[in-house]
């Protein structure tokens, strides 16, 4: 995804050649951490600062960097390690226990945003296919943002957190199906056999790993430590599983980060603290690239026309409200507080919405300015959500029941 060329200024600093890697790392990492620091001092979530750092250094504002292969790779790896690290903190049995509620949450959270997005575009006068694609791009939650907020605040042990994680995984499978249906529909054909196969593969992969992964790794891990002679054998095994399941996830159609999350889940009850600690180092390094990478995609030039800007605001409000209502209603059986938390926790769309819009753009179904609207909605929901999540969990945070981040990601 190249939104623009690197400006001449940066080229002269060595954007190609041996300076490229340290320069990119320095700009992204330092700007993300600086903005996080500023936001923490303003009593705002640091994560929002890191995303906005991406907007700031990106093509829209300073133009220091544009998304390129290196930054995209680091961003993707950052998301994978983030979800892996979160998976390590969660027991799969507890996720499976809340599976029923999570499925309802996920389904409601797919239907309501789709209908709202589609409806708004139709009222706006957009062609039917474009409306369908925009609806589809509003469907899938990006679990990375919420997971990072919950992990950083020590809230992963709450029931609502587990429902959010499980619902986000199911959501990803549903999003895959919606995209498949939508892509077929707009091409006029709907192959039910292939659709059924896609659904089966994705569901089977996720369920099998969630259900038997932990058990399998409990039997495998002790042997790894005893039998292997390479240093840090458990970490080597964990990384191999992480990459293998991420790859399998992609092959079965779900996102790589779902595979990474499942790898963490599978290892949660068998590997020692040391694996978590080493993975935490990688996560700390790469998460700023994931967060700033989201912001880097914003292209404010798409809003040169006032009507597009208005549409962007409407779509953003609809994206927030629709997920909040859909997921909140789905979780209402747990009481209003929990429903509220789950509702806000599912708001961020992040990279998932962008991918759908990009496919629509590639098909020539989505106009360039509407693509900009979807990207804006995707990024803005990740910025709006963290303060809302903090607010929704305020009582729990103030009660002292939250673990400190040091307790969650402590060194052994």
Chain residues binding a second copy by CB under 8 A are: 14, 18-19, 21-23, 25-26, 29-30, 33, 36-37, 40-41, 46, 69-70, 73, 76-77, 80, 152, 228-232, 235-236, 239-240, 243-244, 246-247, 250-251, 255-256, 259, 274, 277-282, 284-285, 405, 411-412
Distance CA(6)–CA(24), nearest Å, equals 11
Residue 412 Cβ vs a second copy, minimum distance, rounded to whole Å: 6
Distance CA(105)–CA(72), nearest Å, equals 30
Residue 326 Cβ vs a second copy, minimum distance, rounded to whole Å: 27
Nearer to a second copy, 77 or 174 (CB): 77
Q: 230, exposed or middle or buried, with CB in 10 Å at 0-12, 13-18, 19+?
A: exposed
Nearer to a second copy, 225 or 284 (CB): 284
Residue 17 Cβ vs a second copy, minimum distance, rounded to whole Å: 8
Distance CA(323)–CA(143), nearest Å, equals 13
Nearer to a second copy, 77 or 98 (CB): 77
Nearer to a second copy, 268 or 327 (CB): 268
Residues in contact with 332: Cβ distance below 8 Å, sequence separation at least 6, in sequence order: 339
Residue 236 Cβ vs a second copy, minimum distance, rounded to whole Å: 5
Nearer to a second copy, 36 or 170 (CB): 36
Residue 107 Cβ vs a second copy, minimum distance, rounded to whole Å: 25
Query: What are the structure tokens assigned to 394, written together?
Result: 């305020």
64, 57 Cβ separation under 8 angstroms: yes
Length of the chain: 412
Cβ atoms < 10 Å from Cβ of 333:
11
Nearer to a second copy, 19 or 310 (CB): 19
Query: What are the structure tokens assigned to 11, written together?
Result: 């080229």
Residue 50 Cβ vs a second copy, minimum distance, rounded to whole Å: 9
153, 393 Cβ separation under 8 angstroms: yes
């Amino acid at each position: 995804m190249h939104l623009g060329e690197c400006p001449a200024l940066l080229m002269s600093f060595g954007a190609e050649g041996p300076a490229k890697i340290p320069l990119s790392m320095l700009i992204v990492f330092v700007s993300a951490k600086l903005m996080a620091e500023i936001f923490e001092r303003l009593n705002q979530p640091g994560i929002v600062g890191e995303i906005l750092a991406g907007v700031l250094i990106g093509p829209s504002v300073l133009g220091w960097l544009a998304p390129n292969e290196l930054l995209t790779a680091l961003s993707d790896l950052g998301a994978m390690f983030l979800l892996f690290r979160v998976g390590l903190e969660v027991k799969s049995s507890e996720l499976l226990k809340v599976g029923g509620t999570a499925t309802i949450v996920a389904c409601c959270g797919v239907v309501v945003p789709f209908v709202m997005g589609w409806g708004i575009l139709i009222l706006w006068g957009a062609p039917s296919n474009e409306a369908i694609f925009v609806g589809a791009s509003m469907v899938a939650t990006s679990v990375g943002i919420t997971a990072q907020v919950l992990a950083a605040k020590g809230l992963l042990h709450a029931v609502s957190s587990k429902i959010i994680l499980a619902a986000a995984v199911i959501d990803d499978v549903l999003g895959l199906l919606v995209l498949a249906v939508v892509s077929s529909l707009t091409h006029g054909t709907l192959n039910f056999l292939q659709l059924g196969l896609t659904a089966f593969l994705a569901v089977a992969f996720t369920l099998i790993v969630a259900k038997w992964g932990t058990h399998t790794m409990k039997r495998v891990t002790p042997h790894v430590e005893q039998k292997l002679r390479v240093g840090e054998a458990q970490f080597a095994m964990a990384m191999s599983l992480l990459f293998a399941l991420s790859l399998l996830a992609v092959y079965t159609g779900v996102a790589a980060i779902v595979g990474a999350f499942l790898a963490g889940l599978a290892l949660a009850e068998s590997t020692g603290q040391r694996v978590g600690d080493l993975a935490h180092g990688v996560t700390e390094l790469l998460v700023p690239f994931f967060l700033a990478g989201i912001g880097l995609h914003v292209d404010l030039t798409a809003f040169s026309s006032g009507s597009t800007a208005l549409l962007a605001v409407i779509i953003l409000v609809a994206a927030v409200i629709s997920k909040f209502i859909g997921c909140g209603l789905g979780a209402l059986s747990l009481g209003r507080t929990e429903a509220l938390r789950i509702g806000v926790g599912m708001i961020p769309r992040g990279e998932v919405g962008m991918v759908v819009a990009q496919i629509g753009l590639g098909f020539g179904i989505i106009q360039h300015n509407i693509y900009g609207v979807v990207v804006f909605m995707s990024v803005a929901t990740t910025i709006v959500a963290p303060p809302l999540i903090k607010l929704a969990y305020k009582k729990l945070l103030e009660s002292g029941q939250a673990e400190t981040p040091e307790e969650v990601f402590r060194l052994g």
